Amino acid sequence: MTVYVDEITDYGDVARRRGLRSTQWAHLTADTPEELHDFAARLGLKRAWFQNADNYRWHYDVTPSKRAAALRAGAREIDRRGLAALMAARRAAGSTAGVVTGSGTVTAVDVCTTDQGEPWAVAAVKGTLGTVACHVPAALYQQCAALLVVGAPVAFSGRMDDRPTPPVFVAVEITATASTPPAGPSAPASAEPAKASPDVVPLAAPIFGNANGWADVMQRAGEQCECTGQCGLNHRRTGGRCDARHGGYGGKGCPPIRLEVAPEDPTVPEHVAARMTSDQLMAWCGKCRAVAVSKSKPAVRGKKAPPPQSDALFAL
């Protein structure tokens, strides 16, 4: 059994956003979680600092001083490519091992974003496994976002995290059951269109669907929306104001926009946005059906493709 620690990387932007004192970090992992926990305890690391969002990239973030201590204690030094290869092998080996299945009803959905701007979700599901917090990684969320609607029955498979209460279930697959309501927006026949304002262009309907059958997320840094406060875009973190700073573009080149608010459509997922053409931007909030296009920015970049695993590992 071996413990590994990779090279120091500067995460200044991430550290400042999260209020961390240290901006330089490395990643400590091992051949088994048990060995990693034992080694981390000897270094004085708290168990609460253990990270295991995808059930194969489990690790501890360590400062330069703790990294040096780990090397003195016998950890093997590897670079980021070596760490990426280790994680890829771990993912392949565990793709089918230890997978359990369950089903239930979605009782709550919280859509979050990674530091690279990719959406992922935590869904509370009540059913055969009791009430669990079902973590839906970004890659899986792209495929099943339309299924994660409050009240929808779903079947899922994945692995139980080893954190205590409440149980955390890291999903590897989510499917709809026969009674799941159809995905996608369908406005009520009696819904009245939103009134236009000088700086927005209302749309008749959002543009939905891509190769995965869902809408690409296009919330970007610096965007602002005037909505009812129900769309779930960081309201709890910004005192009720929806600033939608999700896109990972560093706040550059992203003008504020205003959103037209249409009647609520309960069939629309909690938070969905769609990619449009290079001279348009639409934002869609499922709770308040906020739809708008910015006219002040002629060029809108599309969603960036995820960087290679070796460059995108664990941005804290």
| Stated pTM of the model | 0.35
Summarize pLDDT for 243-265 with one digit per residue, the tens: 333 332 233 333 333 333 233 33
Give the length of the chain: 316
**What does the mean pLDDT of the chain come to?**
60
Domain boundaries, the chain: 3-93, 100-176, 189-304
Residue of 262, 287, 274 whose CA lies nearest to 150 = 287
Q: Which of 231, 215, 202 is nearest to 294 (CA)?
A: 202
Q: Give 191-235 pLDDT, tens digit per residue.
A: 343 343 333 333 322 322 222 222 222 332 233 333 333 333 333
The DSSP line for 4-24 is EE---EE-HHHHHHHT-S--E
* 100-176 CATH choice from 3.20.20.70, 2.30.40.10, 1.25.40.10, 2.40.50.140: 2.40.50.140
Assess whether pLDDT exceeds 90 at residue 69.
yes
Q: Residues 70, 73, 79, 82: what is their CA dihedral angle, to the nearest 10 degrees?
A: -120
pLDDT > 70 fraction of the chain, expressed in percent and rounded = 48
**Residues 173/135, Cβ–Cβ less than 8 Å:** no
Tokens standing for residue 226: 């005037």
Give the model's pLDDT for residue 54: 65
Share of the chain above pLDDT 90, in %: 10
CA distance 149 to 124: 11
Quick: pLDDT tens for 6-51. Answer: 988 877 776 677 677 777 889 999 988 889 999 999 999 988 888 8
